[in-house]
Each structure stands twice: as C-alpha cells, then as structure tokens.
Amino acid sequence: MKWEYIIIHHTGAEEQDTEQVRRYHRSLGWRDIGYNYVIEKSGLVAPGRSLAIPGAHCLAGGMNTRGIGIALIGNLEEHRPTPEQVDALVGLAGGLMLEYQVAVENVLGHREVPGAATVCPGRYLLMDDTRGNLQAHPSPTALQNQNNALPKTISGLWIVQVGAFSTRERAEQYAQKLREQGIEALVMKR
C-alpha cells in the first residue's frame, strides 16, 4: 500500500460508537471495520482497520490501497457534523497529511473520487471548507512554499535541531516520537 490520498466518509447512520460500526461491517463478512479511522459525535477519534492491510471503504480509484479512510459517524446528508467532529477531522487529516506526505488536493470526499456513485460523505460535510482548514494546517509542502515565499532580505532560517542520525530509518523513528507528542518534525538530509 502507498497511502497518497485521504478519503472522507460519513457512516450514513447514527451509530452510538465505533464498535457498533465495526460489528456491522463484520456482520457483512468483512475481516474488520472498513474505515481506518472513525470520528464519533463527541469528536473522539477511534482507530479502525490497521493501515498495514487494505481498507474497505472506497473501491473507486483503487482507493482501498491508496487512500486512508476516515468516517464521521452520522448521516451528513441529513444534518451537519458536530463542531467537535469538524475539529477532530482537521486535526486527524492534518496529522496524516504530514505523516504520509499527502497533498491537500488529495483529501477527497468519497463522492469526489472519479467513478464513485454515492452522496457520501453527505452534503453537510463541506469538502472545500475542510480543505481550506487543512491548507491552514502546516504540511511539508506548505512549509516549503512558505520558505520559498520568504522575502529576499531574510538571509537564512533558524532551525531547531533535535537530533542527527546516520540512517533515515532512525531519523524517521525519532521524528515519529516527536509527532506523537504533538511536535511537528521534518526529516531533512544535510
């Protein structure tokens, strides 16, 4: 799998929690819940299916092996997501964009995937607003663009260095630890 997209869904129903969604998907004979993350009405982000195996949320475009599936609980064709869900979505998708180097234009609502015949994630999940919020969220590309856009009178940038490693793998591991603490970390080679 190479995760290059983030696909946003609604569950289309008013489940109490992620476990209810998981039970339903298993009852269909699936190996696990189809989505990789579920955002409950309280804004709680619950892990779904492991990213180590293909998902089961969007056949169109081969997205089950290319797109990380996030579902908001609720029928968002009928009502708005809760403000807590909207905040959680931006936080989660922003973090995943950073971790998997996903560009903001590759954050799509299920219905925006070419070939997908669905209203998912519902008309009340405003994808343009979501992408706008994510654009405001720092991503590697955004940081890069920002650096490129700096006025020419600034000579050099002050970098906070927190570690130096001889292998990329160890550097990535260290960066991951920082991200888990909510600290943005970029791995660069010198």
Positions in the binding site for Zn ion (CB under 5 A): 9, 110, 120
Minimum CB separation of residue 20 from Zn ion in Å reads 17
Between 37 and 185, name the residue whose CB sits nearer to Zn ion. 37
Contact between residue 107 and residue 68 where contact means Cβ atoms under 8 Å apart: no
Q: Is 7 or 104 the residue whose CB approaches Zn ion more closely?
A: 7
Rounded-to-integer distance, Cα 91 and Cα 97, Å: 10
With respect to Zn ion, which residue has the nearer C-beta, 9 or 131?
9
Residue pair 107/52 in contact (Cβ under 8 Å)? The answer is no
Q: Which is nearer to Zn ion, 63 or 88 (CB)?
A: 63
What are the backbone angles phi and psi of residue 177, rounded to the nearest 5°? -60, -40
CA triplet 92, 66, 83: central angle to 5 degrees? 25
Provide, rounded to whole angstroms, the least separation between the CB of residue 1 and Zn ion: 18
The distance of closest approach from Cβ of residue 13 to Zn ion in the complex, given in angstroms and rounded to an integer, is 12
Question: Least Å distance between CB 90 and Zn ion?
Answer: 19
Listed residue (30, 110, 25, 127) closest to 67, CA to CA: 110
Q: How is residue 86 written in tokens? A: 């909207």
